[in-house]
Amino acid sequence: MRSSVCRVLLITSLIAVLSPSAGWAQRRSSGALNRYELTGFVGYLWGGGVDVVGGQISTKAAADFGGILDIRIRRDAMIEFSYTRQNTELLRKDLAGPTTVISDMGVDFFQIGILGEARQLRGPAVPFISLTFGATHFSPETNTLSDEWRFSTILGGGVKALFSEHVGVRAQGRLLATFLNSGSSVWCGGGGCSLGLFGTGLLQGEVSGGLVLAF
């Protein structure tokens, strides 16, 4: 499943990037908006706890980073591809005991969706909202746990502003939801930690900012 998800995202991105229309070229020459925006960002991601038998399993709040590619499809809308990476720890909090570290873990979010801009508002800063769908990859750094892929979605909002024709900044807040099915082994390889995960999901929050290159 891991390789198929990556291939789909990669092929879709290449098709969108390599097929600009002639109509867009004409509009740009007459002073239209940039077609592409590439953003590198850093932020802080927190949350991600689920109740299990005897306690709770969670991910430790930590910094994250990533990249975003936006491709304009109309004046106030863009297709958005994003990648987010967090290096964190997988924690267990027992009801009658301390919090223990199960493993270091990497979490990757691969997403595609839509971004809408409020360009009717005057001023240098352009508010936006975004909604994307994709997959979350959990990669614990221990031999007792296996990597897992799960469906996820991200709802975001913020502002972006260009200082010049090609350079600007972007600030945003996002709500990230990763859905877990019953019997998920991402949290524990033994001891019954995955019991009680049926129908649950991880809900996380993020604030981030970055540099925008537009062209």
**Span 39-63, pLDDT tens digits:** 999 999 998 888 877 888 899 999 9
pLDDT at 16: 43
Residue 205 token pair: 């929050």
pLDDT of the residue at 185:
45
CA distance 102 to 140: 9
Predicted local distance difference test score (pLDDT) of residue 83: 98
Q: How many CB atoms lie within 10 A of CB 64?
A: 25
Mean pLDDT by 10 residues, the chain (215 residues): 50 45 43 88 93 86 98 96 97 87 96 95 89 96 90 97 94 95 48 45 95 97
pLDDT at 150: 94
Alpha carbons 128 and 37: distance in angstroms, whole number: 14
Domains along the chain with CATH numbers = 2-214 (2.40.160.20)
- In order of 2, 18, 103, 105, the CA distances from 8 in angstroms are 10, 16, 30, 25
Strand runs labelled E in the chain: 36-47, 49-52, 55-59, 62-74, 77-94, 99-117, 125-140, 148-162, 167-179, 201-214
In the chain, the amino acid numbered 187 is W
- Say what the pTM is: 0.78
Residue type, 207: V
pLDDT for 54: 80
At residue 21, the pLDDT reads 41
Kindly give, in sequence order, each residue whose CB lies less than 8 Å from that of residue 79, ignoring residues fewer than 6 positions away. 16, 70, 71, 73, 112, 113, 114, 115
Residue 105 contacts residue 139 (beta carbons within 8 Å): yes
